[in-house]
C-alpha cells in the first residue's frame, strides 16, 4: 500500500492524471485506449487550449494588457501510440502551467493566464554520433560515424496575458527598478534606487564604494531617463 506521503503526492497531482490512477484509492487500474492518430492529438490539444484560455468579458478586458509568447516543443514519437486522452490532457495542461510558472518567476507583479495558443507539426534534423574511431597512440580522431534522422515535433506557441494589467518589471544588477504595481509608481524611481545603492556602498571601503557608486549612478540615471521617455532611445 502507498505510504501517506505517496498518497499525498498523488492527491496533489489532481485532475486528469489522477483519473487514470485508480489504484491509489484501492480500485483496479483502468486506462483509456492509446491514441495512435497524430491528427487526433493535435485536435485534442487545440480543444484544451480553448478550455484553458481566458474567455468572454475577461478576455475583452485583458485585450490591451501586456502579453508574452513562450514556445514549447515535444517529439511526436514519444506521444503517438503512447498516451491516452486523460494523460495527454495532463501533459498539455502541465506544459501550459509550466510556462506560466516560469514567466511568473521574473514578472511576479502580474497574474498570468493563457490568452491564445497555436500548434503545428514541424521537422528537425538530428545528428547522432554512433561511433568515433580514435588513433590508439595519438588519440587523434580518425573517423566519426553519424546517424542523421529527421524527427517530427509538436511546436506550440503559448501567448500569456497579465490579467492585472501591470507594467514589465525591469532589473538592474538583479534589483527591480520598474514595473511595480501601478498604485506604487509615485516618485522618481532613479532617485530611490540611487539612494539605496549609496547606502549599501557605505558599508565598504571608501575608495571602492565611491568608485562603485559612480558607476552605478551613471547606469541608474540612464535607466531612469529611459523609463521617463517611455523606453525610447
Give the per-residue pLDDT at 187.
43
Give the per-residue pLDDT at 23.
47
Q: Which of 162, 186, 204 is the last residue of a domain?
A: 162
Q: Where are the alpha helices (DSSP H) in 53-161?
A: 56-62, 85-106
Query: Quick check: is 89 in a domain?
Result: yes
CA–CA gap between residue 156 and residue 187 (Å, rounded): 41
Give the per-residue pLDDT at 6.
81
Given a contact cutoff of 8 angstroms between Cβ atoms, the answer to whether 190 and 224 are in contact is yes
Are 65 and 132 in a shared domain?
A: yes
Cβ count within 10 A of residue 202: 9
Are 204 and 108 in a shared domain?
A: no
Going residue by residue through the chain (233 aa), what tens digit of pLDDT does each one get? 557 888 777 777 654 455 444 444 556 556 689 999 999 999 999 999 999 999 999 999 999 999 999 999 999 999 999 999 999 999 999 999 999 999 999 999 999 999 999 999 999 887 777 777 777 878 777 777 777 888 899 999 999 999 999 998 888 777 777 655 543 333 455 555 556 655 655 454 555 666 766 677 777 777 766 666 665 55
Q: Which of 104, 131, 162 is the last residue of a domain?
A: 162
DSSP 190-226: HHHHHHHHHHHHTTS-HHHHHHHHHHHHHHHHHHHHH
Query: Quick check: is 76 in a domain?
Result: yes
Cα 34 to Cα 23, 38, 51, 80, 179, distances in angstroms: 19, 11, 22, 8, 46
* 3-state class (DSSP) for residue 60: helix
SS (H, E, C) 66-86: CEEEEEEEEEHHHCCCCCCHH
Are 84 and 40 in a shared domain?
A: yes
Are 60 and 158 in a shared domain?
A: yes
Are 179 and 151 in a shared domain?
A: no
Are 26 and 45 in a shared domain?
A: no
Give the per-residue pLDDT at 30.
63
Its domain, for residue 69, covers: 34-162
CA–CA gap between residue 185 and residue 181 (Å, rounded): 7
Query: Quick check: is 233 in a domain?
Result: no
**pTM summary value:** 0.61
For the chain, how far is it from start to end, CA to CA, in angstroms? 64
Partners of 117 in beta bridges: 158
**CA proximity to 188, closest of 226, 217, 218, 224:** 224
Q: How many domains does the chain have?
A: 3
Are 151 and 39 in a shared domain?
A: yes
Give the per-residue pLDDT at 186.
38
Query: Quick check: is 6 in a domain?
Result: yes
Are 43 and 152 in a shared domain?
A: yes
- Chain centroid offset of residue 72 CA: 9
Are 83 and 122 in a shared domain?
A: yes
* Percent of the chain at pLDDT exceeding 90: 44
Query: Quick check: is 88 in a domain?
Result: yes
Are 102 and 119 in a shared domain?
A: yes
Are 92 and 53 in a shared domain?
A: yes
68-81 pLDDT, tens per residue? 999 999 999 999 99
Give the per-residue pLDDT at 207.
57
Are 103 and 65 in a shared domain?
A: yes
Give the per-residue pLDDT at 185.
36
Give the per-residue pLDDT at 104.
94
Amino acid at each position: 500500500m502507498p505510504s501517506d506521503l505517496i498518497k499525498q503526492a498523488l492527491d496533489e497531482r489532481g485532475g486528469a492524471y489522477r483519473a487514470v490512477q485508480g489504484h491509489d484509492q484501492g480500485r483496479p487500474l483502468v486506462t483509456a485506449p492509446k491514441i495512435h492518430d497524430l491528427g487526433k492529438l493535435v485536435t485534442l490539444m487545440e480543444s484544451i487550449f480553448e478550455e484553458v484560455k481566458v474567455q468572454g468579458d475577461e478576455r475583452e478586458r485583458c485585450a490591451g494588457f501586456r502579453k508574452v509568447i513562450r514556445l514549447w516543443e515535444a517529439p511526436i514519437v514519444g506521444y503517438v501510440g503512447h498516451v491516452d486522452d486523460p494523460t495527454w490532457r495532463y501533459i498539455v495542461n502541465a506544459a501550459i502551467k509550466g510556462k506560466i510558472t516560469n514567466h511568473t518567476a521574473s514578472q511576479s507583479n502580474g497574474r498570468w493566464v493563457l490568452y491564445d495558443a497555436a500548434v503545428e507539426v514541424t521537422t528537425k534534423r538530428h545528428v547522432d554520433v554512433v561511433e568515433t574511431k580514435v588513433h590508439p597512440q595519438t588519440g587523434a580522431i580518425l573517423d566519426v560515424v553519424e546517424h542523421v534522422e529527421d524527427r517530427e515535433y509538436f511546436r506550440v506557441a503559448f501567448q500569456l496575458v497579465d490579467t492585472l494589467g501591470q507594467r514589465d518589471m525591469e532589473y538592474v544588477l538583479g534589483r527591480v527598478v520598474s514595473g511595480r504595481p501601478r498604485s506604487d509608481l509615485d516618485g522618481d524611481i532613479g532617485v530611490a534606487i540611487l539612494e539605496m545603492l549609496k547606502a549599501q556602498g557605505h558599508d565598504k571601503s571608501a575608495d571602492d564604494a565611491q568608485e562603485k557608486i559612480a558607476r552605478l549612478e551613471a547606469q541608474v540615471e540612464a535607466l531612469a531617463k529611459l523609463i521617463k521617455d517611455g523606453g525610447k532611445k
